[in-house]
Structures are given as structure tokens and as C-alpha cells.
Structure 1
Amino acid sequence: MKNETIYTAVLTGCGRIGYSLGLDPKREQPASHTASLISNPRIQLTAGCDTDRKTLEIWEKANPAAMTFHSSKAMYGRLHPDIAVIAVNEENHKKEAIAAIKAHPRLVILEKPVALNVDEALEIKQASENEGVAILVNHERRFSADYALAKNLLSKIGRLQYIHGTLCSGMAVYTRGDKNTGACSLFHDGTHLADTILYLMENTEDENAPEIELSKPTITGIFRDNENTIRQLSSHYSSSLCPDITMTFSGRSKFFGFEIDILGTEGRIQVGNGIWKYSGRTESSLYTGFYSLEENHAIRPPKRTGYFSNMIQNAVDYLDGKAGIGSTIKNGIAALRILEEIKNQL
């Protein structure tokens, strides 16, 4: 029998990822929590909360059927939702996540990174376990069709030789003051890079498979500007699955770029923002008696990756009892631990 249960949801944080990215005509939509929640027929968005009055007014105008609150305490005092979404700045993740957990929804959707640091993330995890409330972390590439395809194709490219992840933007990679706000690319977007590499390497078919652990990095290529702000670095790892795993973070770029390049002994996969290329081993057209890598144009991901809508659908499927959580608090802490270990070496 088809499940037609309507799940109620509330949103704390009605700003950029909470709402306004859903208005960007160039992004694949839905691209915000608000847009994703209201586009799912199984969810009713009942309230929004934000401490900024202007932000909340804009959100209220766009969502007139929903209630609005200036504090999550007031919201949870009036409502008991099935889903509580936390889309606030990193420095407020711990406070708002624990407040949501103590309101006892069936599921908390928490923006990335999980928290400012691993200690705060572990407090959130402990609270969720104590209260019996599940957490889904919005590491969206775990739900994106292009990365799912890349993961499925790994078995086609032979033994892994390297995985190189690159994040480029104009945002500083790290400064000492960022530990209190998380407002640096190492944590703000770097959490996606670390988590996606972990996701691609995980054996999701075998629950008993050993966990992927990237630790004790070798840090190279540190570039500091005139104000001693770190603008570039690379972090190197080696594991039994791949001898060369590198993450490069640049805050010197005049563009935004996110890419993961995976080279195997028989093929290569390149996937990222606006990037897709799958190349396989074939008899060379350049040299007699040799093989080359040639792009396979027949294998491409769908134009719509469903990165945000699939995450929300996973929440519905979890509440229906049909699926596990596709991006867990444990996954989120693993990514955060990688970034914190990099930070501690700077």
C-alpha cells in the first residue's frame, strides 16, 4: 500500500542555504532547504525561524502559509514537527542542533559542517543518541546522481592509483580567527571535499567492511598572503585502497571550482561542478601496440543530479522505514576530523 503520510517540517535559518539559493536561476533547482521541502509532496513546511528580522520577513512573504518565529525556543514551544532543519551559520550549529533534538522531532536535518569542531560535533551526536533522534547531514554529493555514477564506475577503472580533490575559490583557506566562526573554505566547503572522497571510497554494499580513515596528513604547498592568511595548501594521504590521496585547497583563485580526479590502472573519472569525464582503456589510435585512455561519451550522468531533492527524499524514505540515512552524523564527524587534523598542523 502506498504511504501517503504527510510529514511536517520546520526550518531554523531562512537565509542563503535555507531559502535564497532557491532563487538562483543558474543553479539546478531545488537548491535550498525551503525549495526542496515544499517541492516534496510528502512534506508540509509549517514554520520558519530566523533571528534576523529582515531575513525572516523576506521568507514569510514567500511562504505565507507557514508560521514564523524569531527564536527556535518559541517555535518548538508551539510546534512538534516530524523534521527539524538546521540551516544556521556554523558557530550556531551545536546550540540549534541540540535545541532541535530536545524538541524530539523524528529527524533532524543538519547543514554541513556538523559543527565548528569535533568536540562540538560529538556533543551533538551524544545528544541525538540520548534523545533517540536521528540526524541527516546535508553533505549533498552523497545524494547527487553524478557522484553516484562515479562511485558505480570505480570498479571499471582497475586498481586506484590516485584520487586528487581540488577546491578553488576566493575565500581564505584558514586564519586563526576562523576557529570561532568556521568562515573559511577549509571547513565551509572543504567539508564537501573530504566527505565526497570518503563517500567514493566507502564500501556501501558491505556493512562489515572496514571504515575508511584518512589521518596523519603530510601538508605541502602552504601559501600565506601578506596578512599571514593561508591561501593555499595540499594535504596528502595514503591508504590500502589508494596510495595517493590529495586534497588541494586554494583561496587564491578568481573562480569557484570543485573537482575530484580519480585515476585507476585501466581508466579515469573526473567529476565536479560542471565537470564529467569518464575515460577507459582502449587500443591506442596514437601508437601501434599500445593502449590509451579514451573518453567514453556514451556514459554520462543525467542533466539533473537531484542533489538536494534526493536528500529530502531520503528523509521521507527514512521516516517511512524504507531506507537508512544516506549521510549520517558519523559520516559528518569523519569529514570534520580530517579537516581539524589539517588545521592543527597549520
Structure 2
Amino acid sequence: MEGWIPTKRLLKITEFADKFCGKVEPMHRYIYLYFDKVLRVSMTDGCAIADIYFSKEFFPFKNIYKISIQHLKGLLKGLKEEKTPFVRMLALDEGLKVELDDVTLNIESENDEKPEIILKNPELITNINLKKYIANLDFCSVQSLEGDLINIVSDNDYEFWGYFEGYNMITYSHFGRSKIKFSMEIPYVTVRHIIKSLSLLTEERIGLYLNENSIFIKGKGIKINICGAINPVISNIKPAINPLESKKINLKTLRDILNKTYTSLPANVRVFLILGKESYILAKDKNTTLTWKINLKFNHNYLAEINHRKLRSILSRLNDNVFIELNEKKIMIHDKSRYLEIKVKEFSN
């Protein structure tokens, strides 16, 4: 069967798939084209599966065609949709032919099974603004690394959180209220793929569901299922301290200093954040001690060891004006929905 696909749509599908499937596992860098009332594509990064509406302007066919994302990127590189508004596709028993100007892709049929989302009575968690969801998911996972698991939790108070505990620092994001209670862990790499790919969408809201042991996302023309591990429900996750002192601060100066430490210091050097009557960041790199003064004053003295590059990334995602609360054990920096908790190593009056 023959059809003409809008070039703009193919460009968007390819860009989404490139972000969603990632570059860690080449075996997952494919889209699967199939027909089910309309033309659709599915894809996976090995954990998450996406199923996306492609086009309704196509004749029915039975096969599933596995197409390399890299081949599509090469086919579309430098293409101007104004000059070439449509791409010709022929869905044949022996394979799929994609024709564009003087380039042709011939994809042989291999009877591949497509990545498929299986719904098992999904329960609604919440409907949420897409930009808010992306920003909060980004914040709670920003200090993580490949191999880490991000906690996604709705506690006994039905408060919906994401968090990750790293070395001396915990990042929390509050997504809002949830309709159900659950607790699960999602692989960091997949979380980053979700953030990058969903950032390409223009819709305002999505639905989040618990699909047995996975998170199911539903938007206009798109469905995503994210694998995870179910944990016991946590009684209460809200980050809080009994502060000895607190104030509202602007992060500009601290961000500027961390930009300088990023340039001056390697990633693995020990760096200390010292807050008190005099506040500064201190580091020793080989035979050199570096000190950057911070224009903040407190009644007590707090010392914390930090990963300066991760702290830089975290603070760049908070609002400019935030609250800081401190006691003998913790330093808490937060805006309305995102919280950074830093463990205090030494405290004195």
C-alpha cells in the first residue's frame, strides 16, 4: 500500500524517538511502524515503551516494519519541509520503501514483534501540567548517575513525590496530590529519556496512572509505559526540619561561585560549604587552597561536604529566590515544590 507522510510529522517522530530510545543501547534505536485503524509507531529504550499516533492518511497493512532511527536521521538530515512537504512510503509484503528526493530506504520485512504496552486496569494517579511534571522529574533526578534508581512515591497522606538520595544531598520534588498510594523505583537512564522526549511535546496536560508495577503516561496521541520496581508505601515523605534559623535568599551569588568552582576544580576534589557569621566555599586541590566568600550571615556555624558540580546543577533548577532553613543536622534549600537537603558534617555555636 502506498501513502504520503507529512515530512514535518516524520521529522518530529524521528526527533522524539532519538531522545526516547537514547544512545546507550544501539539495539533499541529503532521505531516500529504498524497500522491499527491509523498509522502508528512504537519504540522502547529497554524499560519504557512509547506508542504514538503517526498519521491517519494511510492505507491499512498487516506487517510491522522495524526502521533504524539512525537511518531516518540520515535520510532527513538537512531536509527543508517547505521544499519537500511529503515523504512517499510503500508498505509491501517484502518490506517498506521510503522515498525522499534522491534517497530511498528499503527495509526488509522480518516479522518483528513491536514493543507493546499492556494495560492491566491502570489506576489514575493524577492529571498534571506537562511542564511542571518535566521540571520536577528533572530536579529530583539531576544528581543521579547511570545505574541509580529514582524514587516515585505517593505516601499515606496522598502527597505525590519524587526523590533521590546521593552523597550528602537529597533532592525532592513535589508533584501535587495523588488519588492513590504507591511507591516505586524507576531507572535513572529511562527517567532522563522521558524528560528529554516529553520536552518536545506541546500539549499542556498529561494523565499519570499506576499500571500494576509500572507508570503509564497518557497524552494526546501518545502513550508511554515505564518499568519500575514496587516498594512498600512510605508513611510520610515530606522533607522538613526544625530550624534553628531560616531566611529567604537569592541564589545568584552562590550560583556564580559554583560556576567558578566548575572551571577551577576537577569533579572529584573535596569541597566544603561553610555557613555562619562568615560564609564561604572552600576547596583544596593539590597544593592550592581556594576560598570563595558568600555574602550570607547566620547565627550558628554549619559545615557540609558537597559535590560542587552536582550542587551547581541542582541550584540552577531552583527559583532565584528560595528559603534556606538550618539546624544541627541539615541545611534545607527550597522553593514551592523542590527541596534540596544537605547533611551537616560539623555544627558549632
TM-score (norm 1): 0.24
Structure (1/2) with the larger helix percentage: 1
TM value normalised by structure 2? 0.24
The higher-RCO structure (CA 8 Å, 6+ apart) is: 1
Please tell me whether Structure 1 or Structure 2 has the larger radius of gyration of its CA atoms: 2
